[in-house]
């Protein structure tokens, strides 16, 4: 095992990188490299929430039907899989 694997800071940073989700990856690709959006959210939570709300509103107005269709398709396939699994195990 290397020394880096034993260092708690490196381990915590690695776990943080592993826990990053799709939205974080998208934001990192869209925004400039020198813009630290995570720091801005921590420093200005109310403004960040307002911006996220506005963006969500405008995206929803423009693509609401597609979002609802995709979400309902996803949920119905998950429910169908759960029912199939439940009936198959019975």
Q: Per-residue confidence of the chain (90 residues) as pLDDT tens digits?
A: 444 445 666 555 555 555 667 777 777 788 788 888 788 889 999 999 999 899 889 888 998 899 899 999 999 999 998 898 888 865
One DSSP character per residue, 32-62 reads -TT--HHHHHHH-HHHHHHHHHHHHHHHHHH
Q: How far apart are CA 25 and CA 12, in angstroms?
A: 18
On whether both 26 and 51 belong to a single domain, the answer is: no
Looking at the whole model, is its pTM more than 0.75?
A: no
On whether both 50 and 16 belong to a single domain, the answer is: no
List the domain range (segments joined by +) for residue 85: 45-90
């Amino acid at each position: 095992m290397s020394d880096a694997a034993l260092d708690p800071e490196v381990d915590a940073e690695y776990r943080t990188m592993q826990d990053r989700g799709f939205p974080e990856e998208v934001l990192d690709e869209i925004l400039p490299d020198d813009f630290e959006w995570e720091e801005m959210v921590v420093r200005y939570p109310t403004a960040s929430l307002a911006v996220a709300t506005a963006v969500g509103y405008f995206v929803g107005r423009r693509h609401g039907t597609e979002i609802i269709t995709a979400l309902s398709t996803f949920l119905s396939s998950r429910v169908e899989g759960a029912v199939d699994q439940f009936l198959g195990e019975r």
